[in-house]
């Protein structure tokens, strides 16, 4: 596969997947997601690779979720049978990052927002630049991730904080994210890749089979969330087709606040 939306590199046991759409803050479209799945599967298949790094191009954003300009009344533009009706194979990508039997490190170099935030949550470890910003925006733009994005987030940081993140849609700096257990380590922005590679090399000194079984064990305890994710993505596909969801999407594109008040009926 020739990649246009990502950069995929392999070096000394480390595979690096870089989302490469800086003009939209590394938002993903259907093609981006398909390319990411392909790259993660290659890293899975390659026995010389022991660890995968996920990051974004530039110093503005890691990833800000789905490309809102690619979304309309039928969900994202790749509409078809794959992807549970959403129009992109995001559920498959989430499961691939979860199930690849090698540690995946998110190197968060800027905004990790919306579906981009969900990606770092699913990764095994998160290394954050001191300039990184974290948050969910779904309810502001007529969207949600009620699978790993909420249920697994609550496992990671606890129910109260997870609910706050989704219900208030605020942003959190790197230090605050570390305090709530959302990231493992915060480093100076310019040292992000150096420090991430140091962790990769520490991991590569360990037994790959032990690491694989440990990842399976950690995953087993939250494996039911794969089922919740199926339901969540199926319901999201239906929600995307509603007037209420479209209002959020249109408001973002038109750079105006969404008017959701009219949907509080009674
Ligand atoms: C990321 C922001 C907080 C950055 O704000 P700011 O610094 O003020 O910069 P902006 O001027 O807003 O943005 C700069 C530039 O980037 C464009 N852009 C930003 N985000 C997106 C995007 N998601 N899609 C397309 N383009 C984007 C923006 O338009 C500007 O370009 P101009 O040409 O200058 O206009 C802020 O931008 C922000 O909040 N962005 C919205 C992010 C967003 O809506 N993400 C999707 C949320 S959906 C979700 O959270 C749950 C759903 C989910 O996870 C999911 C599940 C299944 C499939 C898909 C998704 C999914 O993520 O959509």
Domain boundaries, given as residue ranges, for the chain: 6-190
Is 116 marked as a binding-site residue? no
pLDDT for 12-48, tens place per residue? Answer: 999 999 999 999 999 999 999 999 999 999 999 999 9
DSSP state of 263: G
Pairing of strands 61-63, 75-76: unpaired
138: pLDDT strictly greater than 90: yes
Cα(88) to ligand 1 centroid in Å equals 16
Return the CATH architecture of domain 6-190: Alpha-Beta Complex (3.90)
Axis crossing angle, helix 90-99 with helix 224-240, rounded to the nearest 10: 160
68 near 249, Cβ under 8 Å?
yes
Would you say the ipTM is above 0.95?
yes
Distance CA 173, CA 44 (A): 32
DSSP 8-state class, residue 246: H
Average pLDDT over residues 105-123: 98
Kindly indicate the confidence band of residue 79, based on its pLDDT and cuts at 50, 70 and 90.
Answer: confident
* pLDDT band, very low/low/confident/very high, at 205 (cuts 50, 70, 90): very high
90, pLDDT greater than 80: yes
- Check whether 265 has a pLDDT greater than 90: no
pLDDT in tens, 179-188: 999 999 999 9
Q: What Å distances lie between residue 63 and 25, 67, 158, 238, CA to CA?
A: 6, 10, 23, 24
| Distance (Å) from CA 137 to ligand 1 centroid | 8
pTM score, whole prediction: 0.98
31-56 b/e with 16+ CB inside 10 Å = b?
bbbbbbbbbbebbbeeeebbbbbbbb
Does the annotation list 102 as a binding residue?
A: no
Question: Quick count: other Cβ atoms within 10 Å of Cβ 120?
Answer: 27
């Amino acid at each position: 596969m020739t990649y246009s939306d990502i950069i995929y590199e392999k070096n000394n046991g480390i595979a690096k997947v870089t989302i490469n759409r800086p003009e939209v803050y590394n938002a993903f479209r259907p093609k981006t997601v398909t390319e990411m799945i392909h790259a993660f599967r290659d890293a899975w298949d390659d026995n010389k690779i022991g660890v995968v790094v996920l990051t974004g191009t530039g110093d503005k954003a890691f990833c800000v979720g789905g490309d809102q300009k690619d979304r309309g009344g039928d969900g994202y533009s790749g509409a078809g049978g794959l992807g549970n009706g959403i129009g992109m194979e995001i559920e498959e990508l989430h499961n691939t990052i979860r199930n690849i039997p090698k540690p995946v490190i998110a190197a968060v170099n800027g905004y990790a927002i919306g579906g981009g935030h969900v990606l770092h949550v699913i990764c095994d470890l998160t290394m954050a630049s001191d300039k990184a910003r974290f948050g969910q925006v779904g309810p502001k733009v007529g969207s949600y991730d009620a699978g790993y994005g909420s249920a697994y987030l609550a496992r990671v940081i606890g129910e109260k904080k997870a609910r706050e993140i989704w219900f208030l849609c605020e942003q959190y700096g790197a230090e605050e994210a570390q305090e709530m257990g959302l990231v493992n380590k915060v480093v100076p922005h310019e040292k992000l890749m150096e420090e991430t590679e140091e962790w990769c090399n520490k991991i590569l000194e360990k037994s790959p089979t032990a690491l694989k079984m440990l990842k399976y064990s950690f995953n087993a305890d939250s494996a039911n969330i794969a089922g919740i994710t199926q339901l969540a993505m199926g319901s999201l596909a239906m929600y995307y087709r509603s007037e209420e969801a479209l209002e959020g999407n249109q408001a973002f594109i038109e750079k105006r606040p969404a008017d959701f008040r009219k949907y509080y009926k009674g």
